[in-house]
Amino acid sequence: MLESKTNRIALYVSALIIIALVLFAIFRDNSQPISLSQANQLLQDKSVKKIVVTKQYVFLKTDTGYYRIPSSQVTPKMFVDYKVTVGTEANILIYILLFVVFLGLGSLLFRYFQKRNFQFGGEVQSQNSATSSALTSENSSVIEAIKSDVSFADIGGISDVKIELEEIIDFMKNPKRYKSFGARMPKGVLLVGPPGVGKTMIAKAVAHEAEVPFYYQSGASFVQIYVGMGAKRVHELFLAAKKNAPSIIFIDEIDAVGKKRDGNRNDEREATLNQLLTEMDGFEGSTGVIVVAATNKIDVLDSALLRAGRFDRRIFVELPTKKERESILLKYLDKVPHELDVQVVANMTVGFNGAALAALVNEAALLALRQNDFHVTLEHFYQVKDKVMFGKKKLQMLSEQQKAFRVTYQAGKVLVATYYDLPFEKLMLSNENLTPQTDEPFIKQELESRVRMFLSGMASCDIKYSEHSNNAREDLLQAKDIVVKMCNEYGMASTLLPPEGEQELILERLYKETKDLLLSMQGLVAKVEEVLYERESISKNEVKKYLDEIF
């Protein structure tokens, strides 16, 4: 009797599985994905026989095949000469049918096991409960390795860093070669650089290229509430790495746990740091375990971490250069339809890190989609650059008088900045920041040009209205800061040791020169004001054309 019931259930289960497979074969989406340019070619060739539009895709049927393209990439005007059918997503129907089939299958299996558990379920239940609790307690502290899928080919730029790390990768792959030569690899590699330059990606790429397990932990994860838990976690991490050697341990933001030990006691953090130091002393370079750590605050790290035998090698990952920015942008633009010169985008992104470049490309692509454009262009990058750098900032509600002051102020700034060829691409009426801050070396003439730019908004308003608004505060502070450094730090005053009152004299002189310059081109100021009133933005190239007409 029991055997016949079992056979019947097996028959039902088999039938349901066959039905599910048949339904999937009938209703599955067998269309091929195509690009926007390929779709345009099919439409131009008049080879499309049928067009079906759904919320997610547009399907094109031809004599030779069945194709699909995301709806977000097309516009209605592409299909003016065709009859378009609105359809439903086949996938939804598949999921509904499969859900019904598996619901029935689950119901049969549930009834079957429910009957079996009724006879000897108490013993099975108690056994399962005991096993579950044992597994939970056993695995609660297990640290798993991460499989890295990031390669050096995925990272643009950082050619110098790659050269430094290739030796580490070679050691992980051929440890005997180094051991036979009497050489040992560094126990630790410290990646130092500002946020967003790709330190974590670099560590993952090393693990991927070396084909070894990758153990990731953030420094903050070691800082526990209970004393001793952070040290325990450090021990477990190194234990897991040693068991699966060769392997890489990556500790992100190591400054969270590795700060200098000063007079202010923090027993838990010190215990965790001591455990980390002990673990790094406890294995030889020949074990095949290398610790890679990342920080943007090397100056706060404890000296014991930085001594020889722990983090022997330090690699500085700087902000990308122009050539490296080009390489990074090409990586991110690889799958984005675009019509632009990457060199121009690289020129306009001085000071951007890898993460900011990724965000810039993504925002430009999203803007192109919102505007139903077929390609990303340079204009899209101009429109989203300030949003990526400073965040989205709406123009506050201004009265007509306030807006008039703002327009005159910004017109003066953009004219002086263009006249002295300061680095910027576009001025927005809503954004006070015009040129990016940079610490690169400047000569006296370049610094004075920046001061004139910061004073030009005030000068423009004073010429037209004989007063200016309080939005000049930030620009005035930056102008003063540059002049103070010119006198006290750079030796650019009238003498190396500036006399009293020298800073005020320099500021007054530069302000007068700026005012005289703006007075000489009042017609041009009025033209720029007109553009800013209408569009609330103006590009450097446009202002340059106006200047070329009178100079």
Kindly report the CATH number assigned to the domain that includes residue 427. Answer: 1.20.58.760
pLDDT at 391: 61
pLDDT at 479: 93
Burial class of 280 by CB neighbour count within 10 A (0 to 12, 13 to 18, 19+): buried
pLDDT at 128: 42
Evaluate if residue 28 carries a pLDDT over 80: no
| 135 within a domain of the structure (yes/no) | no
Poorest-pLDDT segment among 135-144, 288-297, 355-364: 135-144
pLDDT at 494: 85
| 512 within a domain of the structure (yes/no) | yes
Please report which confidence band the pLDDT of residue 132 belongs to, taking 50, 70 and 90 as the band edges.
very low
Tell me which residue of 67, 45, 72 sits closest to 337, measured CA to CA: 72
Average pLDDT of 456-470? 92
pLDDT at 112: 59
pLDDT at 420: 93
Structure tokens at 254: 């190591």
Beta-carbon contacts of 88 under 8 Å, excluding residues fewer than 6 positions away, are 54
On whether both 343 and 276 belong to a single domain, the answer is no
Residue type, 411: A
Let me know the angle formed at the C-alpha of 283 by 281 and 284, rounded to the nearest 5 degrees. 105
Evaluate if residue 241 carries a pLDDT over 90: no
On whether both 233 and 338 belong to a single domain, the answer is no
Domain boundary among 331, 362, 390: 390
Beta-carbon contacts of 344 under 8 Å, excluding residues fewer than 6 positions away, are 378
pLDDT at 303: 83
Please report which confidence band the pLDDT of residue 19 belongs to, taking 50, 70 and 90 as the band edges.
low
Beta-bridge partners for 409: none
Strands (E), 260-393: 289-295, 313-316
| 182 within a domain of the structure (yes/no) | yes
DSSP label at 273? H
Give the Cα separation of 318 and 320 in Å (integer).
6
Look up the domain containing 228 and give its range: 152-316
Evaluate if residue 331 carries a pLDDT over 70: yes
Beta-carbon contacts of 31 under 8 Å, excluding residues fewer than 6 positions away, are 57, 59, 66, 67, 68
Which whole-number Å values give the CA distances from 450 to 158, 193, 395, 498, 529, in the listed order?
Answer: 31, 28, 25, 21, 21
Tell me which residue of 454, 519, 521, 517 sits closest to 483, measured CA to CA: 454
On whether both 404 and 514 belong to a single domain, the answer is yes
Beta-carbon contacts of 325 under 8 Å, excluding residues fewer than 6 positions away, are 157, 345, 346, 349, 352, 357
Give the Cα separation of 217 and 222 in Å (integer).
8
| 523 within a domain of the structure (yes/no) | yes
Beta-bridge partners for 315: 191
Model pTM score: 0.51
Which whole-number Å values give the CA distances from 531 to 116, 134, 400, 462, 536, in the listed order?
Answer: 82, 73, 16, 21, 7
Evaluate if residue 99 carries a pLDDT over 70: no
Evaluate if residue 118 carries a pLDDT over 50: no
| 276 within a domain of the structure (yes/no) | yes
Average pLDDT of 428-438? 69
Average pLDDT of 297-314? 82
| 312 within a domain of the structure (yes/no) | yes
Evaluate if residue 26 carries a pLDDT over 60: no
pLDDT at 284: 56
3-state secondary structure of 339: coil
Is 249 in contact with 204 (CB distance < 8 Å)?
no
Over the stretch 374-408, which tens digit does the pLDDT of each residue have?
Answer: 889 888 888 887 677 666 554 455 677 888 898 99
Alpha-helical (H) ranges within 140-191 are 159-173, 175-180
Give the Cα separation of 380 and 368 in Å (integer).
7
On whether both 459 and 331 belong to a single domain, the answer is no
DSSP label at 99? H
On whether both 282 and 156 belong to a single domain, the answer is yes
Tell me which residue of 433, 444, 415, 417 sits closest to 519, measured CA to CA: 415
On whether both 439 and 539 belong to a single domain, the answer is yes
| 274 within a domain of the structure (yes/no) | yes
**259 phi, psi to nearest 5 deg:** -65, 160
Structure tokens at 75: 């516009």
Let me know the angle formed at the C-alpha of 376 by 373 and 378, rounded to the nearest 5 degrees. 120
On whether both 378 and 518 belong to a single domain, the answer is no
**50 phi, psi to nearest 5 deg:** -150, 140
| 279 within a domain of the structure (yes/no) | yes
Number of domains in the chain: 3
What CATH number does the domain containing 252 carry? 3.40.50.300
On whether both 224 and 172 belong to a single domain, the answer is yes
On whether both 494 and 546 belong to a single domain, the answer is yes
Stronger pLDDT, 9 or 187, i.e. the higher one = 187
What CATH number does the domain containing 332 carry? 1.10.8.60
Evaluate if residue 161 carries a pLDDT over 60: yes
Beta-carbon contacts of 511 under 8 Å, excluding residues fewer than 6 positions away, are 455, 458, 459
Structure tokens at 290: 């290398």
Stronger pLDDT, 385 or 475, i.e. the higher one = 475
Domain boundary among 290, 316, 342: 316
On whether both 203 and 168 belong to a single domain, the answer is yes
Structure tokens at 292: 């890679």
On whether both 168 and 293 belong to a single domain, the answer is yes
Stronger pLDDT, 323 or 468, i.e. the higher one = 468
Over the stretch 269-286, which tens digit does the pLDDT of each residue have?
Answer: 778 888 888 888 766 555
Tell me which residue of 313, 60, 350 sits closest to 188, measured CA to CA: 313
Domain boundary among 316, 351, 371: 316
Measured torsion, CA atoms of residues 267, 272, 273, 274, in degrees rounded to the nearest 10: 80
Angle between helices 378-390 and 354-370 (to 10 degrees): 130
Is 143 in contact with 237 (CB distance < 8 Å)?
yes
Over the stretch 242-270, which tens digit does the pLDDT of each residue have?
Answer: 888 888 888 888 888 888 776 665 667 77
Is 212 in contact with 172 (CB distance < 8 Å)?
yes
On whether both 307 and 329 belong to a single domain, the answer is no
Give the Cα separation of 519 and 8 in Å (integer).
98
Evaluate if residue 434 carries a pLDDT over 90: no
Beta-bridge partners for 190: 293, 314
DSSP label at 108? H
pLDDT at 198: 82
As a residue count, the chain comes to 551
